[in-house]
Amino acid sequence: MDSSASRGARRLRRDAEANRQRTLQAAREVFAERGLGVNLDDIARHAGVGVATSYRLFGNKQALINELFEERVDALVALADQALTIDDPWEGFVSLLTMALEQLEADRGLREVVFAELGGRPLVAQARRKFMPAADAVMRRAQDAGLLRSDLTTTDLPLISYMVSCVIQHTQPVSSEVWRRYLTIVLDGLHVRPGLTDMPVVALTTAEEEHVASLNASRS
Amino acid sequence: MDSSASRGARRLRRDAEANRQRTLQAAREVFAERGLGVNLDDIARHAGVGVATSYRLFGNKQALINELFEERVDALVALADQALTIDDPWEGFVSLLTMALEQLEADRGLREVVFAELGGRPLVAQARRKFMPAADAVMRRAQDAGLLRSDLTTTDLPLISYMVSCVIQHTQPVSSEVWRRYLTIVLDGLHVRPGLTDMPVVALTTAEEEHVASLNASRS
DNA sequence: AAGCAACTGGAGTTGTCAACTCCAGATAGT
DNA sequence: ACTATCTGGAGTTGACAACTCCAGTTGCTT
């Protein structure tokens, strides 16, 4: 995991490498707080380097975003595997949703990458292919145990997360925690108990669900 | 309800009044489909009039938006009163949420006005004052009947609507109906049945909730 | 039917904002 | 001490939406 040379690129001079790390760190902080919409000038200023330096070191904004969020997205994927290690299938499912949303809560840029409001097309498409099967396993296990409503489909999961993440975004500046109320409501609506309502429509197909994400990506 | 002269403004010439109506109608359609972000040039083109004409007739974009959405917002408010006429308190509550979201589904501009992603500050603040007490009555009636979870607060309602409206927006181009699945889930999570989960945090206060809306308004 | 105030359309102006580059000067490494 | 590498911030480019100007047209009055 050599920080600089991703692909056989010539080694950077010490000062350049330091600036690279400072830019990366600044981007982490600024993207997390203000989203991917910020311009590189702001990030460079926050890092204490010139704009040109940031551009020379990363090429463009998208490359910086990709480099920065690769690990963050992978961490999200790992949650699904962790969830499977929890004994109680329902608790596993709850943990998956809760922990994923907690990750998203802390980082506006990550929300935008994951739900493709900007940037990360290829980045996310790939993560998605790793995430969905794992999440699917968590879901099925809870459904087989009769704890998660059986009419739920894999494609519902991203949309449920998105729905709650919207509340996070909306309420963040006023309260960092109210979103948990709505997660609670949703989880209660997913937990099997007598008298659950029949679903009024079928879920999206996998292809449709991918289409949703890519459509919302093409805005940028 | 004389269409032209809002405030003692001199009567418009017949052709001008016709162009006014055409612009209004075009704006209705374009805003509904593409949101408030579209420019007046597009609206004017769609109306078949010149840009200057639209500007002369309305002054600016915001004025056009205000004029256009006043009645739409009022219609939304009226739903709360209608909901009270439904005998079953739970069905009344379900109807309020469902019908409000159906209104929002059909009009992206309305979603943006109501949730203040653009424009309508004063417009909505006023509607809110009429809407909240009415909605509150619908809620309390269902809670008193033991059908709606008792830990729900008036300020939860706008956020729940917002949450589902985000799914509407996100999935609209792929499926105009999937959002009803998530409404179903949420409603099941709100319906009283044994074993509902305790709320992890208190709801926003009324002031906080208003703050949320106004913060999200100040972007434009 | 003629005259004029009211109106029209679209080319053009203004302002904003983000992405990205240029280059004279500074610095790391040998 | 020498040079390839790197730096910073002023400046360029391009896009885009809000809004205006004005030469020409049209509805209304008498």
Does B102 touch chain A if contact means CB atoms closer than 8 Å?
no
The tokens 């179903």 sit on which residue? B184
Chain B's closest residue to A169, CA to CA, is B216
Determine if strand D comes within 7 Å of the CB of B51: yes
Shared domain check, A85 and A41: no
Chain A's closest residue to B116, CA to CA, is A170
Q: Which of residues 39-68 of A touch B (CB under 8 A)?
A: none
pLDDT band, very low/low/confident/very high, at B5 (cuts 50, 70, 90)? very low
Strand C, nucleotides < 7 Å from a protein CB: these are 6-12, 17-23, 27-29
Per-residue pLDDT of chain A (220 residues; tens, 9 = 90+): 444 444 456 788 999 999 999 999 999 999 999 999 999 999 999 999 999 999 999 999 999 999 999 889 889 989 999 999 999 999 999 999 999 999 999 999 999 999 876 656 777 888 888 899 999 999 999 999 999 999 999 999 999 999 999 999 999 999 999 999 999 999 999 999 887 899 999 999 999 988 887 777 654 4
Going by C-beta distance under 8 Å and a sequence separation of 6 or more, which residues neighbour residue A187? A94, A97, B189, B197
Chain A's closest residue to B115, CA to CA, is A170
Cβ atoms < 10 Å from Cβ of B77: 18
Structural domain of A6: 1-59
Shared domain check, A127 and A55: no
| Choice between B206 and A100, residue whose per-residue pLDDT is larger | A100
Q: In this predicted structure, what is the pLDDT of residue B2? A: 45
Coil vs helix vs strand at B88: coil
Shared domain check, B76 and B14: no
Shared domain check, A17 and A101: no
- Domain termination residue (choose one: B59, B91, B107): B59
Q: How far is the CA of B217 from the C1' of D11 (A)?
A: 34
Strand D, nucleotides < 7 Å from a protein CB: these are 5-11, 16-22, 26-28
Shared domain check, B113 and B103: yes
Shared domain check, B74 and B45: no
- Domain termination residue (choose one: A59, A88, A109): A59
A8 to chain B nearest CA, in Å?
40
Coil vs helix vs strand at A207: helix
Integer Cα distance of B130 and B124 in angstroms? 10
Q: How far is the CA of B169 from the C1' of C12 (A)?
A: 36
Of A166, A186, A212, nearest to B166 by CB-CB distance is: A166
What secondary structure letter does DSSP report for A199?
P
Stated pTM of the model: 0.92
Does A164 touch chain B if contact means CB atoms closer than 8 Å?
yes
Hey, are the CB atoms on B196 and A188 less than 8 Å from each other? Answer: yes
Q: How many domains does chain A have?
A: 2
Does B117 touch chain A if contact means CB atoms closer than 8 Å?
no
Chain B's closest residue to A210, CA to CA, is B174
Q: Give the domain CATH number at A116.
A: 1.10.357.10
Q: How far is the CA of B79 from the C1' of D18 (A)?
A: 36
What proportions of chain A, in percent to the nearest 5, are helix, strand and coil?
70, 0, 30
Does B216 touch chain A if contact means CB atoms closer than 8 Å?
yes
The nucleotide minimizing the C1' distance to residue A14's CA is: C28
Shared domain check, B65 and B40: no
Q: In this predicted structure, what is the pLDDT of residue B196? A: 83
Residue numbers in A near B112 (CB within 8 A): none
Q: In this predicted structure, what is the pLDDT of residue B126? A: 83
Q: In this predicted structure, what is the pLDDT of residue B10? A: 73
B11 to chain A nearest CA, in Å?
43
Name the token pair of B111: 């979603």
With 0-12 / 13-18 / 19 or more C-beta atoms within 10 angstroms meaning exposed / middle / buried, residue A53 is: middle
- Domain termination residue (choose one: B38, B59, B80): B59
Determine if strand C comes within 7 Å of the CB of B40: no
Kindly report the backbone phi and psi dihedral angles of residue A183, in degrees, each rounded to the nearest multiple of 5, phi listed first: -65, -40
Q: In this predicted structure, what is the pLDDT of residue A216? A: 72
pLDDT band, very low/low/confident/very high, at B120 (cuts 50, 70, 90)? low
Shared domain check, A115 and A97: yes
Q: In this predicted structure, what is the pLDDT of residue A155? A: 94
Hey, are the CB atoms on A197 and B187 less than 8 Å from each other? Answer: yes
Hey, are the CB atoms on B162 and A167 less than 8 Å from each other? Answer: yes
Shared domain check, B176 and B72: yes
Hey, are the CB atoms on A204 and B156 less than 8 Å from each other? Answer: no
Shared domain check, A119 and A40: no
Q: How far is the CA of B47 from the C1' of D3 (A)?
A: 66
Determine if strand D comes within 7 Å of the CB of B10: no
Mutual angle of helices A51-58 and A61-84, in 10-degree steps = 60
Q: What is the dihedral of CA A185, A186, A187, A192, to 10 degrees?
A: 100
pLDDT at residue B25 greater than cutoff 50: yes
Hey, are the CB atoms on A163 and B166 less than 8 Å from each other? Answer: yes
Best residue of A90, A139, A171 to probe chain B, by most B CBs closer than 10 Å = A171
| Choice between B141 and B11, residue whose per-residue pLDDT is larger | B141
Hey, are the CB atoms on A199 and B184 less than 8 Å from each other? Answer: yes
Shared domain check, A117 and A100: yes
Shared domain check, A89 and A30: no
